[in-house]
Amino acid sequence: MVFKHREIALLSALLASIVLLPLSYAEDPKAPAAAKRRATSSLDASASAETSVYLDDTHVEVVTPTIAGTIKSPTAGWSLSGRYLVDVVTAASADIVATASPPWTEVRHAGSLEGAYEKGDLGVGAHASISREPDYRSLSAGLHGTLDLAQKNYGLLLGYAFRHDTAGRAGTPFDVFGWTLQRHDVNVGLTIVVNRSTIGALQLDAMFERGNQAKPYRYVPLFAAEDAEQVSAGASVELVSALRLHARPLEALPLVRDRFALTGRLAHRRAGGTLRLEERLYTDTWGMAASTTDVRYSIDIGRFVTVWPRLRFHAQTGADFWQRATVVSVAEDGAITIPAVRTGDRELGPLWTLTGGGGVSVKLGARFTASFQIDGVFTHYLDALYLTRRNALFSALALQAAFD
């Protein structure tokens, strides 16, 4: 499957080149007629195509071709944009091996539309999206408003979005088997122009989730107390299979979760480059807390080339119900009491992730831009079964064209 996914990635990049490259050179930007048309045009448009590839050493591969476009009227103040992507996922991780399941390949289709209108210091916008795969469906929509103050030195943001997800099993209609999840998002933000070279922003996000977030395919191994002590972090599939009890129930999570995140951003422009800093603090009612720090420095090399190194660090505690080995009580007659809340999702346990990499962006002519990004991702799981680490590689190739 690796070669198949590489072929998809190369084909997507080639198609993007075929579509966008001729358009970018459709007319000479120095021609007087072209300049005159741009001066009188009331519409600007842009199109992009991107292919990203994710690979890790747990045998998970994801290839994602994406196309997007935007059209806007600078004079009338409105804009409309859309995006469509396809995720092709192949997985053969330790969790799949532990359940004696074969490797699988799945395709997800996702599309979104967004519109906005600005008049003076006020702005409003709306967005909607849909995502569909054989066993999962997600629908969302939202509104937001902006207000500029003090000659645009301050900007306020207020937004709301609603999402409805349905998780099921491949080959089974959702009305026969479907777990639903509803989420309400509220966003409040403030942007400050500190000076001519520095901009800061602060945003508070609150997410209120109601419904079933468990995975319909995830079965949780159970252990007697004396056996659980032998199951150390990163315990192998063979050891877990030898020590676990016969029962293996489906994952079950709390049906209510409230999340809160505070994000601060700072961008500083200096001669030859731009420094971007971001810090996100997170907590939720499941007892999880996290910190994410992201640093990126864009360096201008001449007028047409920009390169950027990037470093990101994320650390989190585990949910308050997290157990590496789920312990149950066993009666004398062999009956067991299964915990009402149970999970094998290592992403709900304590971990830290370090991401490092960078990219390059090249302007080709007045309308065409190509960029390439590559990141290495190292995750250390502090208290999980099967794995203590995961190494991953993420890359993305993008092509953009602007028209007027």
Tell me if residue 8 falls in helix, strand or coil.
helix
The pLDDT value recorded for residue 102 is: 79
**SS3 assignment, position 42:** coil
Q: How many CA atoms lie within 13 A of 110 on its CB side?
A: 17
Helix (H) or strand (E) holding 74: none
In the block, which residue shows the tokens 């009956």?
335
Q: Report residue 259 as tokens.
A: 């999340």
How many angstroms separate the CA atoms of 292 and 353, rounded? Answer: 9
d(CA 307, CA 300): 7
Percent of the chain with pLDDT over 90: 79
At residue 26 the predicted structure's pLDDT band, cuts being 50, 70 and 90, is very low
Q: What is the model's pLDDT at position 18? A: 43
- Residue 135 contacts residue 169 (beta carbons within 8 Å): yes
SS3 24: helix
Residues 6+ apart with CB under 8 A from 167: 135, 136, 178, 179, 180, 181, 212, 215, 216
Please say if the pLDDT value at position 316 is more than 90.
yes
Per-residue pLDDT, 331: 83
Q: pLDDT over 70 for what percent of the chain? A: 89
Distance CA 365, CA 363 (A): 6
pLDDT for 12 beyond 90? no
* The two three-digit tokens of residue 399, written as one number: 């092509």
C-alpha distances (whole Å) from 264 to each of 46, 149, 150, 328 are 29, 20, 21, 43
Residue in the block written with tokens 């001066």: 39
pLDDT above 50 (res 80): yes
Q: Which amino acid is at 79?
A: S
> How many C-beta atoms surround the C-beta of residue 50 within 10 A?
21
Comparing 6-15, 64-73, 108-117, 143-152, the range with the smallest average pLDDT is: 6-15
Q: Work out the average pLDDT over 153-160.
A: 98
- Residue 345's φ and ψ, nearest 5 degrees, are -80, 105
Mean pLDDT of 194-211: 97
Across 199-219, average pLDDT:
96
Token code pair at residue 69:
């476009």
Q: What is the DSSP letter of 7?
A: H
User: Using 50, 70 and 90 to split pLDDT, how confident is the model at 334?
Assistant: confident
Question: Does the predicted model carry a pTM greater than 0.85?
Answer: yes
Q: Which amino acid is at 130?
A: I
pLDDT of residue 41: 56
Closest CA to 371 of 358, 355, 360, 385: 360
Distance CA(352)–CA(279), nearest Å, equals: 15
pLDDT of residue 100: 63
Tell me: pLDDT of 4 over 90: no
Chain segment 56-77, per-residue pLDDT in tens? 999 999 999 999 999 999 889 9
